[in-house]
Amino acid sequence: MKSIPNILLIYTGGTIGMIKDVETGALRAFDFNNLLLKIPELKLLDCNIETISFEEPIDSSNMKPEYWIQIAEIVESNYDDFDGFVILHGSDTMSYSSSALSFMLENLNKPVIFTGSQLPIGDLRTDAKENLITSIQIASLQRYGKPVIKEVGLYFEYKLYRGNRTTKINAEHFEAFASLNYPELVESGVHLKVNYDQLFKPNTRKPLIVHKNLDQNIAIIKLFPGISNTILESILNTKGLKGIILETYGAGNCTTENWFIDILKEAIKKGIHIVNITQCSGGSVSMGQYETSSKLKKIGVISGKNSTTEAAVSKLMYLLGQNISTNLFKTIYETSLRGEMN
Ligand code: ASP
């Protein structure tokens, strides 16, 4: 007899499971068991669903690496017993979490699908039901007895994206996420249309490795015309700083003024890793294409290529936690590890 997939639903918090506080009117997380009562449709799905919840569900604006480790540990300890995982998460930092988990779960061979909603599940016009039900269906997809999706994805408003390619682009629209540098993995219409060529193909012979060492001694610096010497210098002289995500203009460009380049050069000399990504929503860094990026290349700035900020940040935390030698760090960072850049 054909067995049906086992799916673990992990509730971390977010609007999907929130209710309005009667006194203040503000949205806050509520008991996960109520969430299941609100969706009797879940019983109609062709899979076994088990659930687990954060003891205290959070608004994802309170997300931090400790919670990423908690999610990774839930996946790790249930990995052999389930065919797929669906993580209910607030949309505010969902792209950061799905990026982080993609790096933390090395050799992942099963679907880990993040989803949430813009309106609570109890709202009449909620987007939560479609997002949740289709995420579970996608996590249940099998081919030749094996899961179709073998990576961390993010499902929202009829599309499954590679998690580490996404960015939250809208605080109001149901279509809250975009993946501007990579096509969607699955599109939900009358049928689920899987984009097989775009799926991540992990080495299926290697066991899952869960990385829990994340180094938070990093900062993001977004360039703007008028950025000051003193402020840049003081950020780069922060005690314990190990890495910077530098959000530059266009294809990785910045001012060519000497003070700017000298400060970065000094930081690199001290062992601080500087990663260049573009502030544009789409497209890639290409250092050397313009004169305004040639100096960055020359002083040893790392190219984040077409990574999102969310992927660049979590990859930096992950690689800094790996104790990689300074010589190798640039080469490894510039390599696509989980399909996060090309
Ligand atoms: N503030 C909420 C959160 O990120 C928003 C959402 O769930 O969409 O938890």
Residue 215: count other Cβ atoms within 10 Å of its Cβ: 17
Contact 91 CB / ligand 1 (< 6 Å): yes
- CB atoms inside a 10 Å sphere around CB 196: 11
Q: How confident is the model at residue 41 (pLDDT cuts 50, 70, 90)?
A: confident
Map out the domains of the chain as residue ranges: 6-210, 218-333
Architecture of domain 218-333: 3-Layer(aba) Sandwich (3.40)
Distance 94 CA to ligand 1 centre (A): 9
Q: pTM of the full predicted structure?
A: 0.95
> What band does 254 get if pLDDT is binned at 50, 70 and 90?
very high
- Alpha-carbon distance 167 to 165, whole Å? 7
Whether the CB of 92 sits within 6 Å of ligand 1: yes
Q: Quick: pLDDT tens for 88-101.
A: 999 999 999 999 99
Ligand 1 centroid, distance to 288 Cα (angstroms): 39
Query: Can you list the positions of beta strands (E) in 157-298?
Result: 159-162, 167-168, 177-178, 186-188, 192-194, 209-210, 218-222, 243-248, 273-278
Determine the Cα–Cα distance for residues 277 and 332; give it in Å rounded to an integer. 16
Site of tokens 């067995």: 3
For residue 3, the model assigns a pLDDT of 84
Give the Å distance between the CA of 28 and the centre of ligand 1.
10
- pLDDT at position 23: 85
Map residue 303 onto helix, strand or coil: strand
Tell me 193's DSSP state.
Answer: E
Q: Residue 290 — pLDDT band, cuts 50, 70, 90?
A: confident
Ligand 1 atom at minimum distance from 92 CA: 4
Give the rounded percent of residues in the chain with a pLDDT score beyond 70.
Answer: 97
Which residues does 103 contact at the CB level (< 8 Å), separation at least 6? 164, 211, 314, 315, 318, 337, 338
Beta partners for residue 328, in sequence order = none
Residue found under tokens 């990579």:
182
Tokens 């994206």 locate to: 161
Q: 135 CA to middle of ligand 1, Å? A: 18
CB neighbour list of residue 259: distance below 8 Å, 6 or more residues apart: 229
Q: Which residues are catalytic?
A: 15
Determine the distance separating the centroid of ligand 1 and the alpha carbon of 119, expressed in angstroms: 9
pLDDT tens by residue, 162-198: 999 999 999 999 999 999 999 999 999 999 999 999 9
pLDDT over 90 at 35, yes or no: no
20, 27, 60, 169: which to mutate for ligand 1, most atoms within 8 A of CB? 60
- pLDDT of 238 > 60? The answer is yes
Orientation of helix 309-320 relative to helix 326-333, angle to 10°:
150
Closest ligand 1 atom number to CA of residue 13? 9
Looking at the CA of residue 15, tell me the nearest atom of ligand 1: 7
State which fold the 6-210 domain adopts. Answer: Rossmann fold (3.40.50)
* Nearest-atom index, ligand 1, CA of 58: 9
Question: Ligand 1 pocket, 14 CB below 6 A?
Answer: yes
Cα distances (Å, whole numbers) of residue 124 to 20, 33, 182, 313: 14, 19, 33, 37
**What is residue 332's predicted lDDT score, i.e. its pLDDT?**
98
How many angstroms from the chain centroid is the CA of residue 208?
19
Q: What is the mean pLDDT of residues 282-293?
A: 89
Considering only CA atoms, which residue is closest to atom 3 of ligand 1? 90
Q: Is the CB of 53 under 6 A from ligand 1?
A: no
